């Protein structure tokens, strides 16, 4: 039996289709950058262009699900749909036009589904772990182990929000980097420490960072998932990217098309969170929340 989950984020919309027989097997795992939350911080509402881009992605995903004979689609929305004044209009439109019911989930649910994606992943080992899930509009930092979800913090910052708050020049000027770094340091605070924890990173910023470090011509989940990235290597990528314009980043091997203008801000956020926990490395998970949504639906 095949099932699908769709994760509608501030920057990206992701589709996962699995075959849930004796084991849960991936059938299709794809993403599309639609920038649903573009300009949201300034306007307080979703723009027509952003909603149109996201509608197109969802329409394509529904057609793919039907083509694969999917039984049920579980669709969730996160930060942008939690915050936008016109979220209800968007949800109603998607239901009427596509027949897709979108469940806007809380920060807790977002963190919990991300935790489940790690809990049931045999490649993510360690007795205790800290999970860093950097989105476009929010960042969830979770502590847990293979037995229980311990705690989490949802930070009201992500790669898109940081870009809209601090970036005015291309390439970024030193004072802009200093301002956004200072803001991150003032914002991050956690009621738990990272002692004896493995640090795991998930979502687009981190998988794209891995792709850049590996210099991949095309995205290759098999090479990215489970990759260890050293803290010192992250600093090297930041130094390299901050000297480039958006256009110059576009041709960097491993750069995901559509992420050129926000990737640096996301990587700086990752580096600062790792610094807070004194982490020497981060393990990349290319799965993420959409897997947790499926796991819960299957009663795992």
Q: Average pLDDT of each block of 10 consecutive residues along the chain (300 residues)? A: 96 96 90 95 94 98 97 95 97 96 97 96 87 95 95 95 95 96 96 94 96 95 96 96 96 95 97 97 96 93
- Secondary structure (DSSP) of 116-131: HHHHT-TT---SSEEE
C-beta of residue 26 within 8 angstroms of C-beta of residue 47: no
Q: Is the backbone peptide bond immediately before 171 cis, with ω within 30 degrees of 0?
A: yes
Which runs of consecutive H residues, i.e. helices, occur in the chain?
Answer: 40-43, 48-67, 79-83, 87-98, 107-119, 159-166, 174-187, 204-214, 221-224, 231-242, 246-250, 263-276, 289-297
The whole-number pLDDT of residue 125 equals: 78
Q: How far apart are CA 208 and CA 11, in angstroms?
A: 13
CA distance 194 to 294: 28
pLDDT score, position 41:
86
| End-to-end Cα, the chain, rounded Å | 15
In the chain the domains, ranked by start, together with CATH numbers, are: 2-105 (3.30.420.40), 120-285 (3.30.420.150)
Residue 23's Cα: distance from chain center in Å? 25
Query: What's the pLDDT at 300?
Result: 82
pLDDT of residue 186: 96
Q: Are 144 and 129 in contact (CB under 8 A)?
A: yes
Report how far apart, in Å, the C-alpha atoms of 188 and of each of 32, 40, 53 are.
29, 22, 32
Locate 259 and state its tokens.
Answer: 């992420």
pLDDT of residue 270: 98
- C-alpha 226/C-alpha 238 separation (Å) is 21
For position 299, what pLDDT does the model report?
87
């Amino acid at each position: 039996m095949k099932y699908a989950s769709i994760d509608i984020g501030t920057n990206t919309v992701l589709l996962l289709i699995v075959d849930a027989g004796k084991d849960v097997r991936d059938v299709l795992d794809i993403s599309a950058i639609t920038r649903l939350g573009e300009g949201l911080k300034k306007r307080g509402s979703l723009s027509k262009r952003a909603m149109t881009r996201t509608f197109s992605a969802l329409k394509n995903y529904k057609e793919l699900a039907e083509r694969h004979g999917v039984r049920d689609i579980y669709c969730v929305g996160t930060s942008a749909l939690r915050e936008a004044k016109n979220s209800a209009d968007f949800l109603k439109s998607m239901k009427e036009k596509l027949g897709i019911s979108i469940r806007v989930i809380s920060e807790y649910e977002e963190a919990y589904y991300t935790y489940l994606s790690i809990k049931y992943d045999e490649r993510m080992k360690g007795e205790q772990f800290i999970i860093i899930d950097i989105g476009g509009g929010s960042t969830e930092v979770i502590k847990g182990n293979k037995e229980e979800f311990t705690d989490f913090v949802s930070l009201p910052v992500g790669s898109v929000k940081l870009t809209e708050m601090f970036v005015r020049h291309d390439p970024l000027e030193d004072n802009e980097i200093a301002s956004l770094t200072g803001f991150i340091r003032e914002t991050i605070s956690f009621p738990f420490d990272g002692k004896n924890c493995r640090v795991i990173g998930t979502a687009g910023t981190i998988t794209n960072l891995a792709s850049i470090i590996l210099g991949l011509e095309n995205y290759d989940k098999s090479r990215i998932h489970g990759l260890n990235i050293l803290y010192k290597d992250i600093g090297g990528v930041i130094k390299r990217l901050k000297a480039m314009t958006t256009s110059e980043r576009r041709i960097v091997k491993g750069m995901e098309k559509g992420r050129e203008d926000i990737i640096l801000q996301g990587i700086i956020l990752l580096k600062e969170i790792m610094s807070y926990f004194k982490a020497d490395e981060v393990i990349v998970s290319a799965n993420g929340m959409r897997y947790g949504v499926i796991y819960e639906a299957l009663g795992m």
